[in-house]
Amino acid sequence: MTNNGRMAGILAHPTSFPSPFGIGDLGPSAFEFVDWLAGAGQQVWQLLPLTPTLEDGSPYKSPSAFAGNPLLISPERLAEEGLVDAHALASARWPFSDEASPVDFVWVAAAKRSLLERAYGRFKKGAGPDELGEQFEAFCRAEAGWLDRHALFMALSDANQTTDWLHWTHHLEWSKDVIEGPVDSLGADSGPLADGVNFHRFAQFLFFRQWQQLREHAHRRGIHVFGDIPIYVSHLSADVWGNRHLFELDPVGRPLRVAGVPPDYFSATGQLWGNPLYDWKVMRADGFAWWNSRLQAVLHLVDLARLDHFRGFEAYWAVPSAEVNAINGEWVAGPGDELLAALQQTCAARGQHAPVFQGGLPIVAEDLGLITPEVTVLRKKFGLLGMSVLQFAFGDDPDVRFLPENVAADTVVYTGTHDNNTTLGWYREEVGNHPETLKQLARYVPADTDFSWEMIRLAWHTEARLAVTPLQDVLSLGSEARMNTPGRESGNWRWRFSRHRLTDSLQRRLLKLTERAKRV
């Protein structure tokens, strides 16, 4: 660690990588991206949650908080190990796309599922490296605590053609009660779902195997991996289905109240997320065991994790499930100190600390939006870095906390996040027609300059311990490259970039800026 731990990094989710298979994955492009980061003097690679996604591709709406996303499994690496043949690999290609076409999650899910089924079939016949069978069995034993439940949930979802477990009709003998023990105790390994359960175990094995190889490569290149933990989980998930007692549900299993946020930066009616709320009284009774397991599962994949919507641990917005928007909710006290103390104790016992500063939980608190003094006190008490977003420092309702000169050292500063427009898109569409905002910006950004890079420069020269910018800003892309628009139902998470965009000259430019900002 150099320069008092000041670091810089890039936010880019693996789905955005170039590949000939309709979606970015953990194959050659991922390794090339890590190498490019290292050559550009970056020390942190930030990404979105790595959990499975559904049809809309949102990494914040997953059937599992513990599993990995099978869509990220690299077909090329499967072929290298003999788990798919050349014909299967070719048939998985999207014939009318190029390496950077926007992701069609429905198409990709079907194609990748077919490919993984072929790989599983070959694996059962002995294909792959000699040690693969033993490694698979060891993985299943080590991860049984979440893996068995997830695999059975997915096999039941396949049988019923939906993850909506409230409407399952097939194989109900396997899911009459809340699952509290291993899947084996229900006989799933010898029943009609046995092969489906084992397929989903195998898919998880492949994901974790490929991911750990990529993460080890990142570590060899001096790159810390910065992940993400959504505060809530989806109702249509193995987490809720298999742990119903931990959530606010009615006797049938429907949410009593759901999560969201009141009106904020992004929406005049708030955001109605729809996730079931935790029953914190029940979780408190066993020392927050589920949350401890969840954090440990994430830290098995990454070195540092952004805890999304940190505000909700001090107090959360609870909305009656019948509401159509998030306006008519109420603030309810969260688990606060008790939960974080339990997580801190577990991390300390395992020697897990944040890589961007000495000591403290390996967590960054997403403390954007309506933040009370109590939230800040809670964050600082446990030594967590907060967040600053430069785009929020300007506009009709500027937040002076995020002005470059006001960004605190115990912060991760961003030009924008995955929920923002790209910096160039923001400038063109949200700033350009507002003379007062342009006047504010003129104090920091010279006229007729590369606006995205000027904002990166501002971020890099703040006092923040870590400065991060989305890859779209490094590439000076407009709103066509936006990753997510909160409140929009479709069309999100699809952006990808072409391999040729990560040039040597761009790498040298970023390295030079990072060196001047003393973040190398």
- Name the residues annotated as catalytic: 308, 366, 419
**Cα separation, 201 vs 447, whole angstroms:** 55
Whether the Cβ atoms of residue 234 and residue 63 lie closer than 8 Å to each other:
yes
DSSP string, 75-135: HHHHHHTTSS-HHHHHHTS-TT--TTPPP-HHHHHHHHHHHHHHHHHHHHTT-S-TTHHHH
Q: Give CA–CA dist 170/174, Å, rounded.
A: 9
Nearest to 401 by CA among 314, 456, 464: 464
Q: Which long-range contacts (CB under 8 A, 24 or more apart) does 280-286 make?
A: 280/334, 280/335, 282/245, 282/246, 283/246, 283/335, 283/339, 284/335, 284/338
CA distances 255 to 145, 156, 160, 270, 319, Å, are 25, 21, 21, 19, 10
Residue 304 pairs in a beta bridge with 226
Angle at which helix 194-220 crosses helix 132-142, to 10 degrees, equals 100
CA-based angle 427:429:434, to the nearest 5? 75
The C-alpha angle with vertex 338 and arms to 336 and 343, in degrees rounded to 5, equals 100
Beta bridge mates, 469: 10
Q: For tokens 């991911």, what's the residue?
A: 211
Distance CA 485, CA 171 (A): 38
CA–CA separation, 23 vs 103, rounded Å? 6
How many angstroms separate the CA atoms of 416 and 469, rounded?
Answer: 7
Residue type at position 152: L
